[in-house]
Structure 1
Amino acid sequence: MSTSVVLQQVEKRYGDVEVIHGIDLTIDPGEFTVFVGPSGCGKSTLLRMIAGLEPISGGSLLIDGDRMNEVPAARRGIAMVFQSYALYPHMNVYQNLAFGLETARVPKAEIQQRVQKAAEILRIEPLLKRKPKQLSGGQRQRVAIGRAIVREPRIFLFDEPLSNLDAELRVQMRVEIAKLHNDLGNTMIYVTHDQVEAMTMADKIVVLQAGIIEQVGAPLELYNHPRNRFVAGFIGSPKMNFLEAKVESADGAGAKLRAGGSEIVVDRQVGAGDAVTFGVRPEHIGITEGSGVQLANVKVDLVEQLGGQTMVYATTADGQAMTIAVDGQRQVELGSMLTAYVDPARYHVFARDGRAI
């Protein structure tokens, strides 16, 4: 049975300093929710408050409708996986998995059954007699996750669990954690600063900045319809291009902007003379005629050949940086001039305060 988590006007203060500012959030039963944001935005603090490792300064935390603010961490039905594996070096893998259950006086036969089941799920049965020092980083992280699974919690919390792994292992573990969620069906809350992890794993992404929620939604909802410039710049890799623009003329049907040294017509309600930001993702810019409407003439500063994609880093006529991601292997000369075209259905316009128009 999956579990719901509801935060109602949750606040966190350290003395006079408020770091979490009245957050409202509902996490549905069985949902994989990812908290994402830059360092210091409050995502780990929020996770620790849900876990019961940090007291809540204001508001309410409800788990399956029951208020949990004063309930000790051990009685919340939560298991947490940290960035550090925190395995006992003198115990083998089986003992590491069993230790918490032994401390809770679970019968020996049940411990054996739970450990065996977790080992099968994570494919670590051949490692049960090894000590942590005999394991790779990915194997240690599996053991740390196994230690959470054997507790049979209502909710799994993950605090940047893949940060210590190399790039290839991170991709592999991302897939394994997503499969684990599909197999177990538990509610999972996952903290990361890596928006690629968030996009690939989440049912729901919560974008945080400076202790407030900027936007909540499914990964593609945030990618396609960011609420403001912060979310637009944080979700998507490589990040969105932002060109400072001026509204030259406007009527009921739309407006004409000057962006990147060129004129472009947009179907947005803005006022003549307004200063706005024109946003377009690198993958929505083409360099061949017919790949959209003309956006700007740019000078090529750097070209990266990635095999399946060519990254072009360029500068517009008015000195603004632009990144262009072109499918396939394209020969582009350094220092050459290109015309950049934009997909007319895939651009964004932001007001001076950062709000999406």
Structure 2
Amino acid sequence: MASSITLEKIVKRFGAFPVIHGIDLVIEPGEFTVFVGPSGCGKSTLLRMIAGLEEISDGDLLIDGEKVNETAASKRGIAMVFQSYALYPHMSVYKNLAFGLETAGYKRPEIEARVQKAADVLQIGPLLQRKPKALSGGQRQRVAIGRAIVREPKIFLFDEPLSNLDAELRVQMRVEIAKLHQTLGSTMIYVTHDQVEAMTMADKIVVLREGRIMQVGRPLDLYNQPANQFVAGFIGSPKMNFLTARLVSSDPSRRTIEVSGQQIVLDRSLEAEDGETLTLGIRPEHFNAHIQSASLGEGKVQLVEHLGGSTVIYTTTADGQAVTVLLEGQKQLRIGETAPLSFDIANAHLFGADGRRV
């Protein structure tokens, strides 16, 4: 049975210094929620407060509607998987999985059943008699997750569990954790600074910055409708291009901005005044030479990255603004050449001086 989690004006201070600023959030039962943001944004601190490993300075934390601010970590029905595997090196995989249940006083048949179930889910049955030193990084992480599974918690917390793995293993484990969520149906909160992990795994993403929530939503909602420039730049890879623009006309019959000497007609209303400086956001993948609804003119090629299935082109506009273009396939462009910077205005984003979407 999965649990709901509600955060009501949660505050965390270290001494007089606040690091979490009144966060409100609801996580539904069985939801896979990802906390994402740059280092120091407070995502791990928030996770540790939910786990009961950090004291809550102000506000209320509710699990299934019950306030648990003062409830011991061991009584919250939560299991946590850390960045470090923290396995007992002198114990076999089986003993590592069973140890917590043994100390909690579970009977031998129950322990064996739970360990075998976890081993089957994670496909680590053949490893049960090995010691941690005989395991790969990915296998050790599976054991660390297995140690959480055997407790049969209502809530799983993951604190950057894949950051110690190489790129290939990260992708593999990402898929396995997503499958694990489908299998168990438990409520899961996953902390990462990697927006690709957030986009591919989450039912709901919580973007954090300096202890505040910037936006909450489904992955594609954040990608397509970022609430502000920070979220727009954080979600998506390569990151969104931001160009200085000026609102030439807000007249509904012909709303126009000027960017790099080019006049671009908008397809939407916006809350801004004539002459106001705005920021135009365009994702690298939304440039297409065959689309002529809007253009930044020609970009001078500074660097080309060939990725096989796609090509990343780093260019500058006529007024020196940097623009990254992501094109499908293998494009033969050389440094110093020019490339058309055409895009569909429907895929563009506009932000005001305060960074908010307009």
Query: Structure 1 length normalisation: TM-score?
Result: 0.98
Amino acid at match of 1:293: A
Amino acid at match of 2:343: V
**Structure 2 partner of 1:271:** 273
**Structure 1 partner of 2:312:** 311
**Structure 2 partner of 1:89:** 89
C-alpha displacement at 1:255, in angstroms?
A: 2.3
Q: Secondary structure at the match of 2:250?
A: strand
**Structure 1 partner of 2:299:** 298
Alpha-carbon distance between aligned partners in 2 of 1:261 and 1:332, rounded to the nearest angstrom: 24
**Structure 2 partner of 1:280:** 282
Q: Is the 1:222–1:235 Cα contact (8 Å) retained in structure 2?
A: yes
**Structure 2 partner of 1:321:** 322
Q: Is the 1:254–1:268 Cα contact (8 Å) retained in structure 2?
A: no
Q: Gaps spanning 5+ residues in structure 2: where?
A: none
C-alpha displacement at 1:259, in angstroms?
A: 1.1
C-alpha displacement at 1:188, in angstroms?
A: 0.2
Amino acid at match of 2:80: M
The 10-residue stretch of structure 1 (1-10 or 338-347) with the greater mean CA deviation from structure 2 = 338-347
Alpha-carbon distance between aligned partners in 2 of 1:61 and 1:290, rounded to the nearest angstrom: 50
C-alpha displacement at 1:249, in angstroms?
A: 2.2
Q: Gaps spanning 5+ residues in structure 1: where?
A: none
Q: Trace 1:254-269 onto structure 2 (pairs within 5 A).
A: 255-266=255-266, 267-269=268-270
Q: Secondary structure at the match of 1:165?
A: coil
Alpha-carbon distance between aligned partners in 1 of 2:175 and 2:293, rounded to the nearest angstrom: 35
C-alpha displacement at 1:257, in angstroms?
A: 1.3
Q: Secondary structure at the match of 2:346?
A: coil
- Summarize the Cα distance change of 1:70–1:263 in structure 2 as closer, same or farther, 3 Å threshold: same
Q: Is the 2:233–2:240 Cα contact (8 Å) retained in structure 1?
A: yes
Alpha-carbon distance between aligned partners in 1 of 2:287 and 2:40, rounded to the nearest angstrom: 33
C-alpha displacement at 1:102, in angstroms?
A: 0.5
Indicate yes or no: 2:51 matched with 1:51.
yes
Q: Is the 2:208–2:214 Cα contact (8 Å) retained in structure 1?
A: yes
- Summarize the Cα distance change of 1:253–1:205 in structure 2 as closer, same or farther, 3 Å threshold: farther
Alpha-carbon distance between aligned partners in 2 of 1:182 and 1:72, rounded to the nearest angstrom: 28
Q: Secondary structure at the match of 2:345?
A: coil
Amino acid at match of 2:232: A
Alpha-carbon distance between aligned partners in 2 of 1:259 and 1:268, rounded to the nearest angstrom: 18
Alpha-carbon distance between aligned partners in 2 of 1:7 and 1:265, rounded to the nearest angstrom: 43
> Cα deviations across residues 51-87 of structure 1 (Å, max 9, x unaligned)?
0000000000000011000000000000000000000
Q: Secondary structure at the match of 1:111?
A: helix
C-alpha displacement at 1:170, in angstroms?
A: 0.2
C-alpha displacement at 1:235, in angstroms?
A: 0.4
Q: Trace 1:1-357 onto structure 2 (pairs within 5 A).
A: 1-253=1-253, 255-266=255-266, 267-269=268-270, 270-286=272-288, 288-290=289-291, 292-357=293-358
Amino acid at match of 2:324: T
Q: Secondary structure at the match of 1:314?
A: strand
> Cα deviations across residues 227-284 of structure 1 (Å, max 9, x unaligned)?
0000000000110000011112221245211113322111332311000000000000
Alpha-carbon distance between aligned partners in 1 of 2:162 and 2:352, rounded to the nearest angstrom: 36
Q: Is the 2:10–2:24 Cα contact (8 Å) retained in structure 1?
A: yes
The 10-residue stretch of structure 1 (263-272 or 110-119) with the greater mean CA deviation from structure 2 = 263-272
Number of matched pairs: 356
Amino acid at match of 1:240: M
Alpha-carbon distance between aligned partners in 2 of 1:41 and 1:148, rounded to the nearest angstrom: 26
Q: Secondary structure at the match of 1:133?
A: helix
The 10-residue stretch of structure 1 (160-169 or 245-254) with the greater mean CA deviation from structure 2 = 245-254
Amino acid at match of 2:302: D
Superposition CA RMSD, Å: 0.9
Q: Secondary structure at the match of 1:251?
A: coil
Alpha-carbon distance between aligned partners in 2 of 1:252 and 1:323, rounded to the nearest angstrom: 31
Amino acid at match of 1:177: I
Amino acid at match of 2:42: G
- Summarize the Cα distance change of 1:50–1:181 in structure 2 as closer, same or farther, 3 Å threshold: same
The 10-residue stretch of structure 1 (293-302 or 15-24) with the greater mean CA deviation from structure 2 = 293-302
